[in-house]
Amino acid sequence: MAKKSPEQIKAESRGLRGSIAQELTNSDRFFTDEADKLLKFHGIYQQEDRDARKADRTQDHHSMMIRTKLPGGRLTPAQYIAHDEVASKYANGTLRITTRECFQFHGVLKGELRQTMREINEALVTSLGACGDIVRNVMACPAPTADPHRQAVQDYALRLSDALFPKTNAYHQIWLDGQPLIDDSEIDEPLYGRTYLPRKFKIGIAYAGDNCVDVYTHDIGLVALFAEDGALEGFNLLVGGGMGMTHNNDATYARLGDEIGFITPDQVLPVVAAIVTIHRDFGDRENRKHARLKYVLAERGADWFREELAARVGYAVAPLRPMPPFRVDDHLGWHEQGDGRWFLGLHVESGRIIDRGTYRLRSGIRAIVERFQLPVRLTAQQNILLTDIVADDRAALEALLDEYGIRRVENISAMRRAGLACVALPTCGLAITEAERVFPQVISEFEDALEEIGLGDADIAARMTGCPNGCARPYVAEIAFVGRSLDKYTVFLGGNPAGTRLAKPFIDLVPLAQLVPTLRPVLQSYRDDRDPGESFGDFVMRVGLDTLREQVPAEWRTLGAYGD
Ligand code: HEM
Ligand code: SF4
């Protein structure tokens, strides 16, 4: 029988059911390919531990990754503790903060999947729509604030998430009810229709001036603008950003969102919903590599898009308003919230909340959240904010940080603070190279090199991914390492610290061990030739990648598919 296309699987899924419930009752450790495609909509990726598979091919090494959906990255104390519990009971004992303000569990066995999903949902957390061809987790700047206008902006993450939530009750029936299945294949999905979206859809909300969510990299970016008295005026609307691309395929590329116009607060829900329908109706349903909204924008143009949007909502959006320049606030360290309480941003290397030797981050955060009953927020840089801390508790909380060996942000280098890495090996089936597991070492090498050449604690944003799909948003970093072939990376340079410019391919097929040594002469040039206050990314673009390329060994200079 011919393999069904993803579109056919969605169309025949009866509201995302497919054969998931039936397959849950068999004794296999894995789902069929068709069920696997639908599981993503439920927030579940079927994976194999690739290390274990290499070591022993006689056994089956399938397990599930579950991603919870946390609009704006927010959790109550009880929800955090529930995540921590699930990590111990069913997953690999770690919690992974994602670059889209969610949590991931890795290593959940199929036989325990339903129970795991139930326990997650008992904490009033869902995973429906965390993956799949649907609106994913809606991100917003997570920094707590007592300013009601800023809170209103953050609340749009919840409001949009609710408004764009799928209507199917398959999730409930499969994971929570455990009842014999009622076939309600007629269920109406007014927004998505039977085939949902051609591809995933991402939304991020920023405040003007703070690009902590990388607002240009989403399908829709909203930039909140405030009047002088602090009131929310509305949002500049960016559309058609996206990171994913494929090596050796010029038809795929990373792209920043186009600046489409300005919308008032009451226009947000209808405009965003209409844009989702534009993606639904115009996105490519034949070729998934070409199915993101960014290609519709790139090929039909921003003017066409404005007209199509106006036709759908019944008015034209206003012209873009001027915005102050962006910078990126990582929200780490102690900050006053404005209501007399404090929040503390803790650095989580590559987003992995883990206990390792004397560094007991996971136990420490759990102990702190339990003792002080602190709500938690996850950042787009894979870090965690402990919030609503009363001033009198600060000293006791600091003592707990020491007890659990948790580093203060003051003791972490600027490069480590700014770095991001995707999960990659061993769980990601698409990974070509390592990322999360080797990135801390790469940063250590950078720290040493910067020290030796006299650049000290230079603040350079570097990111690493195990393949070109771009989950850690590498293409807006100042330095990006993108997995290319076994242990070898393509190096991109020239994003800016504000995350508003794309990096360009610099050198290719560089072995992991050579990444930092190869860039060393470029760092030396930066030391010698930078303008006062100039960032590394700006320096690279001013001097030019071609000039800088002369400084690296010839063997890495051939850009192959990336050549221009
Ligand atoms: C274009 C194709 C893409 C594919 C096929 C893809 C696939 C995947 C897979 C399989 C994982 C799971 C890895 C694991 O946990 O073992 C993952 C993780 C993730 N992806 Fe993607 N991804 C793509 C692009 C992107 C992009 C462009 C973004 C956002 C800019 C993104 C955001 C994430 C996030 C937030 C995670 C969670 C882990 C992390 O934070 O590193 N993905 N992706
Ligand atoms: S960038 Fe590639 S290797 Fe990394 S998590 Fe995403 S799909 Fe996997």
pLDDT tens column, 278-311 = 999 999 999 999 999 999 999 999 999 999 999 9
Q: Is residue 190 part of a domain?
A: no
Q: Is residue 154 part of a domain?
A: yes
Whole-prediction pTM: 0.96
What's the average pLDDT block by block, 10 residues per block, for the chain (564 residues)? 91 94 95 98 96 93 97 98 98 98 98 98 97 98 97 98 95 82 69 97 98 98 97 98 92 97 98 98 97 98 98 98 97 97 97 97 98 98 98 98 96 97 97 98 98 96 97 98 97 97 97 98 98 98 97 88 53
On whether both 114 and 3 belong to a single domain, the answer is yes
Q: How many structural domains is the chain composed of?
A: 4
Helix (H, G, I), strand (E, B) or coil at 282: helix
Summarize pLDDT for 318-365 with one digit per residue, the tens: 999 999 999 999 999 999 999 999 999 999 999 999 999 999 999 999
On whether both 242 and 309 belong to a single domain, the answer is yes
On whether both 355 and 479 belong to a single domain, the answer is no
On whether both 128 and 245 belong to a single domain, the answer is no
On whether both 248 and 106 belong to a single domain, the answer is no
> What CA–CA distance (Å, rounded) separates 347 from 38?
34
Question: Which has the closest alpha carbon to 73: 125, 146, 19, 12?
Answer: 125
Verify whether residue 428 is a known catalytic residue.
yes
On whether both 526 and 448 belong to a single domain, the answer is yes
On whether both 435 and 513 belong to a single domain, the answer is yes
Q: Is residue 183 part of a domain?
A: no
On whether both 304 and 361 belong to a single domain, the answer is no
> What CA–CA distance (Å, rounded) separates 333 from 330?
9
Q: Is residue 386 part of a domain?
A: yes
Last residue of a domain, one of 305, 329, 353: 329
Q: Is 472 in the pocket of ligand 1 (CB under 6 A)?
A: yes
**CA distances (Å), 105 to each of 172, 348, 369, 437, in order?**
20, 16, 19, 16
Q: Is residue 250 part of a domain?
A: yes
On whether both 446 and 554 belong to a single domain, the answer is yes
On whether both 316 and 355 belong to a single domain, the answer is no
Ligand at shortest distance from the CA of 465: 2
What pLDDT is recorded for position 177?
Answer: 82
Token pair for 371:
């003792």
Token pair for 291:
């199915």
What's phi and psi for 497, nearest 5 deg? -60, -20
Last residue of a domain, one of 278, 296, 329: 329
User: Domain span at residue 457?
Assistant: 415-562
> What CA–CA distance (Å, rounded) separates 126 from 69?
6
Q: Is residue 45 part of a domain?
A: yes
Sign of CA dihedral 256, 257, 262, 263: negative
> What CA–CA distance (Å, rounded) separates 87 from 108?
9
Summarize pLDDT for 505-530 with one digit per residue, the tens: 999 999 999 999 999 999 999 999 99
The domain spanning residue 377 has which CATH number? 3.90.480.10
Q: Is 428 in the pocket of ligand 2 (CB under 6 A)?
A: yes
The domain spanning residue 144 has which CATH number? 3.30.413.10
Verify whether residue 212 is a known catalytic residue.
no
Catalytic residue among 69, 136, 150, 473: 136
Cα 406 to averaged position of ligand 2 atoms, centre (Å): 28
The domain spanning residue 15 has which CATH number? 3.30.70.3340
Last residue of a domain, one of 368, 383, 406: 406
**DSSP secondary structure letters along 113-179:** HHHHHHHHHHTT-B-TTSSSSSEEEEEE-------HHHHHHHHHHHHHHHHT-----HHIIIIII-P
Q: Is residue 191 part of a domain?
A: no
Verify whether residue 501 is a known catalytic residue.
no
On whether both 325 and 342 belong to a single domain, the answer is no
Q: How far is CA 79 from the centre of its chain?
A: 20
Indicate the residue type of 432. I
What pLDDT is recorded for position 560?
Answer: 65
**Residue 219: is it exposed, middle or buried by C-beta count within 10 angstroms (0-12/13-18/19+)?**
buried
**Residue 199: is it exposed, middle or buried by C-beta count within 10 angstroms (0-12/13-18/19+)?**
buried
Cα 471 to averaged position of ligand 1 atoms, centre (Å): 4
What pLDDT is recorded for position 185?
Answer: 58
Summarize pLDDT for 526-536 with one digit per residue, the tens: 999 999 999 99
On whether both 436 and 545 belong to a single domain, the answer is yes
Q: Is residue 430 part of a domain?
A: yes
